[in-house]
């Protein structure tokens, strides 16, 4: 900054470190829980904040699927990760491609209803999708 203020520097770092610690804590707890066995987690009060030794089998189970201790079976996670990645990439590229040309048209051309077109597109940014479609779509009963 412009002037030397050692006390303020100290306070800044203290505030930032506390902030980062609070922000990172939930994720740290989740990570620690992922390194423990299900029995360790459910039997603990409170959860141990020291990483356990179950990290390899936890992540293998999550990625590859398999039987859990309680008896159920969970499907492999890595195909879901891959599908999510492909869907996200296609959506991101598609959205950019579509919006870049419409933004170009609105900025560089003068055409009738230009303002209306802008607001119709813009309001969708503010109005969340869930709000417009937060109702069940019509389905046909198929019990017969």
Partner 1 sequence: MEKRVRFKSAWLPWLLVAPQMAVVLVFFFWPAGQTLYQSVLQEDAFGMSRQFVGWQNFERLWEDPSYLDSFYTTAIFSLLVAVLGICIALLLAVMANRVVRGAAIYKTLLIWPYAVAPVVAGVLWLMMFASPWGVVAYALQALGDGWNHLLSGTDAMALIVMASVWKQISYNFLFFLAGLQSVPSSVIEAATIDGASPWRRFWNIVFPLLSPTTFFLLVMNVIYAFFDTFAIVDAATQGGPGKDTSILVYKVNYDGFKALDMGGSAAQSAVLMAIVILLTVFQFRFVEKKVQY
Residues in contact with partner 1 by CB under 8 A are: 1-3, 5, 8-9, 11-13, 15-16, 19-20, 23-27, 29-30, 33, 41-42, 44-47, 49, 98-99, 101-102, 104-111, 114, 117, 120-121, 123-124, 126-136, 138-141
**Whose Cβ is closer to partner 1: residue 14's or residue 86's?**
14
| Least CB distance to partner 1 at residue 43 (A) | 8
Return the number of the residue (86 or 91) whose C-beta is nearest partner 1. 91
Closest to partner 1 by CB, 56 vs 135, is: 135
Tokens 């417009």 found at: 132
DSSP H/E element including 17 = helix 6-34
Q: What are residue 67's DSSP bridge partners?
A: 73
Buried b or exposed e, range 37-72, using 16+ CB within 10 angstroms: eeeeeeeeeeeeeeeeebeeebeebeeebeeeeeee
């Amino acid at each position: 900054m412009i002037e030397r203020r050692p006390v303020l520097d100290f306070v800044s770092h203290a505030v930032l470190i506390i902030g980062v610690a609070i922000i990172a804590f939930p994720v740290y707890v989740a990570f620690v829980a992922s390194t423990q066995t299900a029995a360790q987690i459910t039997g603990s009060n409170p959860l141990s904040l020291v990483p356990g030794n179950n990290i390899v089998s936890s992540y293998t189970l999550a990625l590859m699927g398999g039987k859990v201790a309680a008896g159920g079976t969970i499907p492999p996670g890595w195909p879901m990760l891959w599908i999510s990645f492909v869907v996200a990439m296609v959506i991101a590229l598609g959205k950019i491609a579509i919006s870049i040309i419409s933004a170009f048209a609105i900025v560089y051309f003068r055409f009738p209803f230009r303002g209306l077109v802008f607001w119709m597109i813009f309001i969708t940014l503010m109005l969340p999708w869930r709000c417009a479609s937060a109702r069940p779509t019509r389905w046909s009963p198929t019990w017969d």
